[in-house]
Structure 1
Amino acid sequence: MKKLLSIVLFAVIITACSKDDEEMKGIVADQITATVQPFTGDDMSLRAYWNQGDVMTVLRAGLPACQLTLSAGAGTSVGTFAGELSFGLGQEVTAIYPKVTGNEGFLTLQNEQNYAAETDINAYDIRFGSAQLVSDEVNIQMSSLLCALKLDIILGTDDAMESINSIEVVVPDRFLSGTFPISSANPAASLQMTNGTDRIKVNLTSTPSAGKQVTAYILTLPCDLSEVRQVKYIITTTNGVFTFCHKPAEAFLSGKMVPVILDVNRFTLVSGEPGEGEYARTISDISEYTNLNDPVFYGIGATDPVYANSYLISEAGNYTFDATVIGNGPGGIMANGKFHTSTASITPKSAALVWQDKPGLIKKVAFSNGKIIFSTAETFTPGNALIAAYAGSDGTGEILWSWHIWMTDKPALETHINLEGHKFTFMDRNLGAVNKTIGDAGSLGLLYQWGRKDPFLNSASATEVVQPILYDIEGKVLTDRFAELWTSSDKGTIAYTLANPTHFLLAKDQETSADWYYGGGAGRVNRNFYLWGNPEGYVYRELSETLKTIYDPCPVGYRVPGNFAWSFVTYDGHFTPVPEQWSVKGSFTGGYTVIYDGTNTTFYPAQGCRSSAGGLSDAGEYGHYWMSGPFDEISPYVVCFGFANWYIHPDNECNTSTGRAVRCVKE
């Protein structure tokens, strides 16, 4: 009967040694038993075992190598290998897995691995051990030449369809994969690379969800990190790439498992190349996203990008815009305007949906290299949403800027001719309106405090006050997003309103002339009539002589109209309760059908307002439309177009803290 040679393999690095030749008793065996243990430092989540078809090499310098094939124990840590061994007692032997050719062969760690479960890394492991044969039952302690990285990944994406495809580890000026010689004399010391790379990649064949915590393992060549400046982890998903920069405290040692936590909540999001403790995110195929800063999208004959506080879209799809440029860009800053900034640039680190007025309008919001990317539902639904850029990662920190996403069919243009014969080409609906149907709440549009860029929801009914509802990205009702607060020296500033776009600032006449902008108190001297670019609007000027500012709420190519836009609606451009002196067709029906050029008509709904003292009012009863300038050179108030069923007032004197409608005019 042939002898049985038992070889027990343990995960402890043992350096092979040589022994002088001496007379030995010969041993011949046809199988061995091999046992392999986990990587050191493992939390028992990673199991090392044998695979069906595994072949190992048992060799000694100067003697022929023996190849043994796994014959039993696949899927366990204890395996039986079959083959013929012929050595003498007292000899030092080395076992190497996988097999090598000859006594001085080469092994390769592939630079690309596949992973679906913890056991998959066994197919890529390289193990070795050595022992002196003192009997026919010899235990050879054996370990991995490689280092196992345990990657715990938390990306926190909100797209249920986004999954992780692969992870790549990069250590500049170090070899993580490649081919190296293996020697029976000392396998552990033989990692002198002949052909290697500074990176190694694992493909996650199970494509786990990027919205859940994912754990994956990857094997790498041992690597001393003491003089390494950075280690990068490049995670590719179906939607783009996350790049983390983190140098572990532990070196990548042979037979060691090193934990690496890649959690977006523990890293700082940056728009450029990440440094230690930072991560960046890019969106793949961004060229397939519609660029809302491209003048071609609007049919504008320009070459430079275009910007606005409101982006109008009329189709379902994927969109992107520059989140580092505020308002309508640097051209929207007035030198004497007491604006909050002298530059139109910001450096956000993330973006998120603030609110939407219907669930499911916007399905995804992301931030990549200074761009905000968002996707609508597959079926286009009219509505409104607000997206913000944040100073912190993952929608945290201060809001640096916010943009209105207006989802409606493309508005028609209507050229109004005022009493003085000047032309104003208006949209056919209010800013934020999703239709122009008389009596429908969708025709009312949104409400704005004068001089502010961010909208507030109007009544959910066109005939009475019905409180509107805000929704988050998941379609859940938001109950704490909107607030009405009294203005003050700290709240009544441009900076505060930008950081708090859902805060409606109430005001009292005796304190601030009913202006949300606190200034220094009441009176004209404390007002800021520059906010919408027409500080002397009581004197008629062509649009080219005024400015669309960074606070103007209208979309690309449009702006808030000047003071004389609606002078034609009455016979002399001023207040009158006499119907015969109105340029309207028919009677009041929750608004007026206005004859705007002597022949054609358009409907102006009585959308009501949000009171300077708080609350919605007057839906279906009163109409209020902002213009861009002050009432006159004395008053602390601005001008608006107002009406009810008993009067029309084309140049009404209005306080700025009331929320009223905007109907945008073409630039």
Structure 2
Amino acid sequence: MYLRKLQRFLAAMAAVAMLAACSDDDDNARLTLEGTTLFVEGWGVTATMHFTSADLRSISLNSVPKGWTIEADLPTGTLTATSPAEADREQSDRSGTVSVIGYTMSGKSIIHKLQVGVVSKEDLVSRQANCMVLTSPYTVYAFDPTLRGESGEKLATAEVRIVWQTAKELVRELRFDGTTATFYIDGEKDDVVPGNALLGAYDRSGKLLTTWHLWMTSAADYGEQTYAGGRTFLTLNLGAARNANATPGEVLGSFGCFYQWGRKEPFVGPAAYDAADGADAKMYDANGETLYLTHEASSPETGTAEYAAAHPTTYILGTEASGYDWLHTPAAEPLWSGERKTANDPCPKGWRMPSERDFEALRIVDAAAGKESQYGWYLTDGTATAYYPGAGFRTYLTGVVQNMYNPVSGVEVPRPWTGDYWTAGTQGRLSSAFVFWFDAADPARSGTTPSEWRRRADGMQIRCVRE
């Protein structure tokens, strides 16, 4: 009897010791992947990634995308991914996310998400500018962040960061090797995920040196039209996802970014197509945390081109002392020009700000047939016809998006809408805008003004013209 009790006691102690040992092993267990993505450049192609681990008894993969072969070898610390064969691409997933699961000695799990995908590579150096248009999905893009805009001026860039983006993980895998920056743009249904982002170059002290606007839009929407006067315009607003107005979502997507006159840094538009409450569209940082625009009144300290460039998420409000310009003291040289491309021009390579003359011939196709729900007009010069959304503007006093019309009667209402497009024209402290409005009481009285002098601290839309 005593012997059996002793045997049971020793077995229990052994079990406790084993559990304690497993617990110690769990405390030291780890699984670390070399990265969060494993890309291949083609169909039927294999790529590998290394990982490190400790005190794991096994490793497995879950939710493997259709058509992919993915294996993990624990002894060698190697992940191997083979993309679907070319013949199977129509029945397979081009990209997807797999769960890499390591099991501890006690059976607990450590899980990492790994994206795999068939990607292309695209070099942006030949079209590097303050704004770079990205129309290719599933692509790793490269550019030179040691150069400012299109000037070729060298920068002491030590780091490249995401300043803001309009969706979480819109820009992925941003890396800088001291010479070249690369980043990945995903796709949906074989089209680019639309949106906007701002990248910043920083020196070793953390000072922001310059920024680049990344504009993701569908290749089907990104086009050009030549008007009767010979001027060629983009077919959509700078920063727009599309150029359509069949649904509220399409209307909102057609708005694009907003700009204070003379600044190259874009601002997001309203959260709703009718700008009902003045709320801004969402912005996120590199970690997916929500960002918000800040507002500063123009002063000798804040109302400078240097301060604006260093604070790209700050909307600088006009004051009486600044003449309701965001600049407190006028710039010595024009920040924008309708004759040549300036260092602050926000348009992509090969495009520039329009002059105040470029919109002169545009007229509403049929004002009497206008309706509130289309939130814009089809405008024509007799040769080309294009949809121009009425997105309203950010007011120079508060920086809030408002969408109102002000016809001859002087009546102002929060809705329907007005279209406000910057040109490069200047007159003292004012700059020229192409403006149109919808008259709810009598659509036939709606109209256009090719050149209206506005406060430069306003934020408006831009439709770029070919250089």
TM-score range, shorter chain: 0.5 to 0.7
How many angstroms does 1:666 deviate by?
1.2
Aligned positions of 1:614-629 closer than 5 A: 614=398, 615-618=400-403, 621-629=417-425
For residue 401 of structure 1, what is the aligned residue in structure 2? 210
- What amino acid is aligned across from residue 291 of structure 2 in structure 1? L
Deviation of 1:398 after TM superposition, in Å, equals: 1.3
1:327 aligns with 2:149: yes
The answer to whether structure 1 residue 515 and structure 2 residue 325 are counterparts is yes
> Which position in structure 2 is the counterpart of 1:432?
239
Change (3 A) 1:161 1:649: same
Match of 1:559 among 340, 352, 360: 352
Shift of 1:292: 0.7
Contact map agreement 2:435 2:450 (CA 8 A) in 1: yes
- Counterpart CA distance in 2 for 1:371 and 1:352 is 13
- SS of the residue corresponding to residue 496 of structure 1 reads helix
After superposition, give the CA deviation of every residue in 1:202-249 in whole Å (9 maximum; x if it has no partner). Answer: xxx96239xxxxxxxxxxxxxxxxxxxxxxxxxxx99xxxxxxxxxxx
User: Which one of the candidate residues 51, 54, 75 is aligned to 1:207?
Assistant: 51
Distance in 2, Cα, partners of 1:496 & 1:349: 21
Q: Which residue does the alignment assign to 1:593?
A: 377
> Are the equivalent residues in 2 in contact too, given 1:291–1:321 (CA < 8 A)?
yes
1-structure distance, mates of 2:230, 2:323:
32
Q: 1:160 aligns with which of 36, 57, 61?
A: 36
Equivalent in the alignment of 1:30: none
Contact 1:328 1:549 in 2 (8 A): no
- In the TM superposition, residue 451 of structure 1 has moved relative to its aligned partner by 0.5
TM-aligned CA deviation for residue 377 of structure 1:
2.5
- Deviation at 1:636? 2.1
Cα distance, 1:161 vs structure 2:
3.7
Cα separation, 1, equivalents of 2:52 and 2:325: 53
Structure 2 residue corresponding to 1:532, chosen from 336, 343, 351: 336
* Structure 1 residue 591: Cα displacement: 4.0
CA distance in 2, matches of 1:659, 1:320: 31
Measure how far apart 1:467 and its partner are. 2.6
Q: Partner of 1:476 in structure 2?
A: 289
Contact 1:426 1:666 survives alignment (8 Å): yes
- 2:377 and 2:390 in contact (8 A); partners too: no
Post-superposition Cα deviations, 1:18-58, rounded to whole Å, max 9, x if no partner, equal xxxxxxxxxxxxxxxxxxxxxxxxxxxxxxxxxxxxxxxxx
Aligned match for 1:314, one of 126, 135, 150:
135
Counterpart contact for 1:414–1:428, Cα < 8 Å: yes
Which segments of 5 or more consecutive residues in structure 2 lack a partner in the other structure?
Answer: 1-31, 40-48, 54-77, 80-118, 405-415, 440-446
Return the alpha-carbon distance in structure 1 between the equivalents of residues 336 and 171 of structure 2.
Answer: 29
Identity of aligned residues (%): 28
> How far did residue 559 of structure 1 move?
0.8
Give CA-to-partner distance per residue, 1:503-522, whole Å, 9 cap, x none.
Answer: 110012x3111111111xxx
Secondary structure at the counterpart of residue 568 of structure 1: coil
| Superposition deviation, residue 378 in structure 1 | 4.9
Note if contact 1:399-1:499 (Cα within 8 Å) is conserved in structure 2. Answer: yes
> Which residue of the other structure, out of 301, 308, 333, is the alignment partner of 1:497?
308
- Aligned-partner Cα distance in 1 for 2:232–2:150: 20
Structure 1 distance, partners of 2:254, 2:50, is: 48
The CA distance in 1 between the partners of 2:140 and 2:121, in whole Å, is 5
Which one has the largest radius of gyration?
1
- Which residue number corresponds to residue 455 of structure 1? 266
Per-residue deviation, 1:315: 1.7
Does structure 2 conserve the Cα–Cα contact (< 8 Å) formed by 1:569 and 1:584? no
Q: Secondary structure at the match of 2:321?
A: helix
CA distance in 2, matches of 1:551, 1:656: 15
**Residues 47-95 of structure 1: per-residue CA shift (max 9 Å, x gap):** xxxxxxxxxxxxxxxxxxxxxxxxxxxxxxxxxxxxxxxxxxxxxxxxx
After TM superposition, give the deviation of residue 475 of structure 1 in Å. 2.8
Give 2:166's aligned residue.
Answer: 357
Aligned pair partner of 2:225 in 379, 395, 414: 414
Deviation at 1:492, TM superposition (A): 1.3
Give the drift of 1:307: 2.8
RMSD (Å), alpha carbons: 2.8
Partner of 1:337: none
Aligned to 1:384, which of 190, 193, 196? 196
For residues 257-280 of structure 1, what are the alpha-carbon distances to aligned partners after superposition, in whole Å with 9 as ceiling and x for unaligned? xxxxxxxxxxxxxxxxxxxxxxxx
- The CA distance in 1 between the partners of 2:132 and 2:169, in whole Å, is 18
User: How far apart, in 1, do the equivalents of 2:289 and 2:233 lie?
Assistant: 35
Provide the secondary structure at the position in 1 that maps to 2:449.
strand
Match status 1:374 vs 2:183: yes
- Greater RCO, CA 8 A, separation 6+: 2
CA contact (8 A) 2:324 2:457 kept: yes
As a proportion of its length, which structure holds more helix?
Answer: 2
Q: What is the Cα deviation at residue 408 of structure 1? A: 0.4
Q: Deviations over 1:456-500 (max 9, x none)?
A: 011122223443111123333235xx2111111111111111111
CA distance in structure 2 between the partners assigned to 1:406 and 1:206 by the alignment: 33
CA distance in 1, matches of 2:323, 2:331: 9
SS of equivalent residue, structure 2 residue 231: strand
Gaps of 5+ in 1: 1-153, 164-204, 210-236, 239-286, 295-305, 331-343, 520-525, 535-545, 571-581
- Report how many aligned residue pairs link the two structures: 332
CA distance in 1, matches of 2:451, 2:182: 41
Contact 2:160 2:176 in 1 (8 A): yes
Instruction: Give 1:250's aligned residue.
Output: none
**2:133 and 2:214 in contact (8 A); partners too:** yes
SS in structure 1 opposite 2:227?
strand
Give the Cα–Cα distance (whole angstroms) in 2 for the partners of residues 608 and 357 of structure 1: 20
How far off its partner does 1:655 sit? Answer: 1.1
- TM-score by structure 1 length? 0.47
Distance 1:462 1:529, change over 3 A: farther
Query: Any idea what SS the aligned residue of 2:147 has?
Result: coil
Question: Structure 2 matches for 1:97-112, cutoff 5 A?
Answer: none
Q: Which residue of 2 aligns with 1:31?
A: none
> Are the structure 2 counterparts of residues 593 and 617 from structure 1 closer, same or farther at C-alpha, using a change threshold of 3 Å?
closer
Residues of 2 paired with 1:513 and 1:453: CA distance? 21
The reply on whether 1:662 has 2:462 as its aligned counterpart is yes
